[in-house]
Amino acid sequence: MDILSVIEAKKRGKALSREEIAYFVRGAADGTLPDYQLASLLMAIRLNGMDARETADLTMEMAASGEMLSPDVGGVPVDKHSTGGVGDTTTLVLAPLVAACGGKVLKMSGRGLGHTGGTIDKLESIEGMRVELPEQEFVEIVKKVGCAVVGQSAHLAPADKRLYALRDVTGTVDSVPLIASSILSKKFASGAKAIVLDVKTGSGALMPTLESSIALAKAMVDIGHHAGRRITAVVSGMEEPLGSHVGNALEVKEAIDVLAGRAKGPLLDTALFLGALMLESSGVAKTREEGMEKMKAALHSGAGLQKLREMIAAQGGDARVCDDVSLLPKAPVIVPLRAREAGWLQKEDCTALGLAAQRMGAGRVKKSDVIDPAVGFVMEKRIGDRVEKGDVLCTLHARTEESASTAGDAVLAALTFSPAPAPKARLLYALVTPGCVADLDM
């Protein structure tokens, strides 16, 4: 067997055998296959897809490409994963809240992918924060604190780590089999037994249509069900940034503001809903409704913010940021972007907004790019809001005046205004469980 024959088979739309999948996954993990051949195969998969059997085989082979953990964390290990969005900081809100309720959140997160932000990049904006931990230390923090958020270990699903980085720079991000196998291989390898998936849909999502988002959610729920994991998926909206803050340190600030009770809105609502599902899935709550009550109680008592302090400290970070957000990195240029016309904000090109932040330095264009933690922007208006000429649409946090000007033009180009009132963006669309897709109207 050779990689060229595997590429050729998939290029012609043929289904790959388990043996062929195992061959290229091993080559990705041990470095024997070069980037350019792996990139070629990724593009063939992106263009011609994989059937359900291929996707399941790819998931299990990638999970088995490294160590498979069975951690003792003093409870059911639970994880949450988002398919990626703009201003999506739910992990930093719900992980400490779930831990405060008695859950054990074993969270292995990724870096930015395409126009979407990465939780690990956000955490690294906290001085001293360690996101690369030995597996035993990772497990011990979860056992003691209740939650830990780390980057993917080199020993867990190493094939995915390499393919994930290549997808980011080869235009192969938006593929159902590649997304499903990437997400679930990491979850299976890390030892999560209960998993809640947040599958985004809309202009800022990897899957822009509701139909494709539901298809991805169903594919992952089915793979998890057959693997003996309890998996629930939520299809949520990404027609606008979930939170108002876009950019690494800015999003950490917003998460702290939410946990401190200073900020509300869609970010909090989504985090509470997903967290309630995590508590139900892991057996900490008997029902979703009970889970929601526990989450709200942990928020209002300040227990969630305390858990974030404990997690940051356990991972070597400066936990003082939880009480003084001014300790986070700050951009030297902060300027308002004002509306040039009056009307109702009708639509946002959320992908364009994510790309604007990426080009400011908040994300990577090339694999080797270094993140600037301080840059990004804060959106002051949401879809459906009335805007007067001269109102501040967003506040730009940039490294230079030129960067702020370029980003400002990109943000303006991403917004559409209407002379008539426009409806608010929908937040939650569907709840997907094995064999069932239930409508959520939020």
Provide the annotated active-site residues: 81, 160, 167, 182, 186
Taking alpha carbons only, the member of 1, 360, 39 closest to residue 175 is 39
Contact (Cβ atoms closer than 8 angstroms) between residue 68 and residue 99: no
Taking alpha carbons only, the member of 336, 244, 290 closest to residue 103 is 290
Taking alpha carbons only, the member of 198, 59, 34, 19 closest to residue 116 is 198
- Read off the DSSP letter of residue 287: S
Beginning with the edge strand found earlier in the chain, give each strand of the sheet holding 77-82 in spatial order: 147-151, 104-109, 77-82, 194-201, 230-237, 428-433, 436-439
**Rg of the Cα atoms in the chain:** 21
3-state secondary structure of 131: coil
User: Residue ranges of the alpha helices (H) in 343-400?
Assistant: 350-357
Determine the Cα–Cα distance for residues 277 and 275; give it in Å rounded to an integer: 5
C-alpha dist (Å) from residue 130 to 103, 362, 431: 22, 19, 34
Kind of pairing between the strands at 245-246 and 386-387? unpaired
